Amino acid sequence: MSALLIELLTEELPPNALERLSEQFCALVFNELSKRGFLVPETKKRIFATPRRFGFLLTNIKKTLLTEQRKIKIMPKRVAFNEDLPTKALLKKLRAVAGNDNLSEKNLLNKITFENSKNEEFVFFEKDTEHIELSKLLQGMLEKSISNLPIPKPMFYQKQQSDKSVIDIHFIRPVHSILALLDNEIVPLHLFGLKASNISKGHRFIGNKSIEIQTAGEYESKITLEGSLIPNFSLRKEEIKKQILTLKKEFTPLLPDSLLNEITALCEKPKVYKSKFDPKFLSLPQECLVLTMQKNQKYIPLKDKTGILSNEFLFCSNISPKNPSQILSGNERVLTARLNDAAFFFAKDKEVIFNSLENKLISITYHNELGNLAERVSRIKILCKKFANYLNVSEESAEKAAELSKNDLVTLMVSEFPELQGVMGRYYAENAGEDSDVCQAIGEQYNPRFSGDTIPNSPLGCCLALAEKMENVVGLTSLGILPSGEKDPMGMRRNALGIVRILVESRIQLSLEQVLTDSLKLFPRKRQSLTYSQIIKFFSDRVFFFFKEKGYDSELINSCLLKCDLKFAELPERITSLQSFLNTPSSKVLCSLNKRIYNILKKSEPCISESNIVDANLFSDATEKKLFEAIENKSQIYDGLLKKKEFEKAFDCLTDLEDPTASFFESVMVNVEDLEVRKNRLSLLSKLYNQMNKIADLSVIDKS
């Protein structure tokens, strides 16, 4: 068994793309090798990724494949020969199958036989055993894999060749060298205008400039030792976490995975230091300090035991000199400059009357066809007041929160730190003496801002967030705008999912239909019928994927979604009660009966009365009467349980209909010649079907 090593040495790679890029590169080549049969169950992969390189090592792979001798069906003899002479089509096909253009016509024809197949004589080619060498296939495999890498915005650069010609190259960053070894042999690759070698480079500042790799298996240990770097992304990440754990002491580091991954992608030989900034900056909003450190500087803020932000912080360097004083002072100086700017902006913003800023919103265009920000605020204000009635919050507070919701967009602080919109609005509203619930709602209006973020904590915050997000989604949809593919420039998917999460997680018993109806009134009517159906589908998709990610079964989600009247807050209970019902012995029989009723009704739609009125005087069989009485007796109890959201008990109630329904089908023919009797029986089944499918649409459940 052999080992394959590939390394692309490049200019500095985008940190947010590094880990995925390296994993995808390895996966693509791995799949190509697997398809060709070069891998075995014991094959192992090791991925490498640093700021200037990515690659992989595959061990326990086949270096050569041995194909078996086999017969290959070519074509009918009548097509292959013309007056006993081989046709051009036959010779062309034989050369393609043989995989050797140098074979003479005589040699090719010596390897053919004739056999009958499907009552006709066919030409077969006897292909000899052959050795397929991996090294000869790697060029094509790597070219294909590189072309399929997920690079959204490749760079364009040119490379001069030895003959002075210039080739155009599109890749994530310019490639400087290629290392390719199959065991101890250099693979003859030619990519990016470069020839592969067995030479790599170490750390930009402290590693050897040129490192010769003798065998594929020694790469990681040699590049670590001589190159003074950690080539494996996961190992480097663990090293950073280990150093943070040593330095943090009594503090809690604010280190989301995204920041840790970015720091890992920015250094080859990480060294974590602790530093601090002037305590006077702690008077700035905490969110501003955290954002400046995490996003702008890639530093790690620290909180003390009480949850208060400290003026100490951690940062990761790519070098570790004996005297780190210059590194420490340099990082402190950069952070101080940024915090001085933030302090200046904050002080200047507080000098302005916050309520007066709404006048500046007129000059900011929200959307060419939806007006300026002031107009948008007026629509949010109307919705917020409307939703306040549904959520039992003060209309006056809702109006005030909506009125001030976008004022911070024209402040210096938000202009410098756009991520703080809403957050700074809360601080400025507090400074202006607004009620605490209004201030909190302004700060929560954009929540959840991203996947995993919290929803608003207050009822007023939920009210404003719903209004803000609904105005966005409905307004843009009214213009025919919907996200396509992975693109969502206006944040419509995020806002729709935010609405779903707020309704579900806050247990708001509000139908999307009502929210949507109120929102549509704010926009031109000319597209409303189209818009309504578009938005329902758009939200239903978000709801489906939201519950799917939580581990719920797809079939159960769809079943309950069809019957929840767009009250998404009820879906968790509906789905779990449906799952419990399906685990009972009666469920299979009831689902089967329900499917039978559905098929009968579907075929007989023209005969069914819309009112579903059942005339007991038309009953001619005792089972009809028993089924009717069972439905009537259970109807009030069943509807009462549904009103109280006791769905599991309601399903238990349905099991009492199993025997009367089964007896009805055993004794009664539904589609009789007497039209009145037939209609009456169909109305009875329709009444039963409606009762059975109020919690979930059982007809989509497969219980076969």
Cis omega before residue 188 (within 30°)? no
pLDDT 10s digits, 506-545: 999 889 999 998 998 898 766 555 677 888 889 999 999 9
Residue 607, pLDDT above cutoff 90: no
Residue 100 confidence class, pLDDT cut points 50, 70, 90: low
User: Taking phi first (over 0 means left), then psi (-120 to 50 degrees means alpha), and beta for anything else, what does residue 408 get?
Assistant: alpha
Give the C-alpha separation, 43 to 60, whole Å: 5
Predicted local confidence at residue 101, as pLDDT = 58
More confident position, 681 or 528: 681
- Listed in sequence order, the DSSP H helices in 292-394 are 325-351, 373-391
Q: What percentage of the chain carries pLDDT values higher than 70?
A: 96
Contact status, residue 507 vs residue 569, Cβ threshold 8 Å:
yes
pLDDT 10s digits, 384-402: 999 999 999 999 999 999 9
Q: Which residues contact 189 (CB under 8 A, 6 or more apart)?
A: 138, 139, 142, 178, 180, 195, 196
Question: In sequence order, what are the beta bridge partners of 57?
Answer: 5, 46
Predicted local confidence at residue 104, as pLDDT = 79
Residue 43, pLDDT above cutoff 70: yes
Predicted local confidence at residue 68, as pLDDT = 61
Closest listed residue to residue 185, CA positions, set 219, 222, 143, 216: 216
Question: Which residue bears the tokens 């756009």?
Answer: 418
Q: Percent helix, strand and coil across the chain, each rounded to 5?
A: 55, 15, 30
Average of per-residue pLDDT across 221-232: 95
Average pLDDT in the chain: 91
Contact status, residue 178 vs residue 189, Cβ threshold 8 Å:
yes
The CA-atom distances, in angstroms, between 266 and each of 239, 258, 297 are 14, 12, 12
Q: What percentage of the chain carries pLDDT values higher than 90?
A: 65
Give the C-alpha separation, 405 to 380, whole Å: 9
Predicted local confidence at residue 528, as pLDDT = 56
How many CB atoms neighbour CB 602 within 10 A? 9
Average of per-residue pLDDT across 337-364: 94
pTM of the model: 0.80
Average of per-residue pLDDT across 642-661: 90
Q: Which residues contact 213 (CB under 8 A, 6 or more apart)?
A: 5, 179, 181, 198, 199, 200, 219, 222, 223
Predicted local confidence at residue 117, as pLDDT = 81
Token pair for 456: 């608003």
Average of per-residue pLDDT across 128-156: 89
Token pair for 416: 């410098």
Give the C-alpha separation, 640 to 633, whole Å: 12
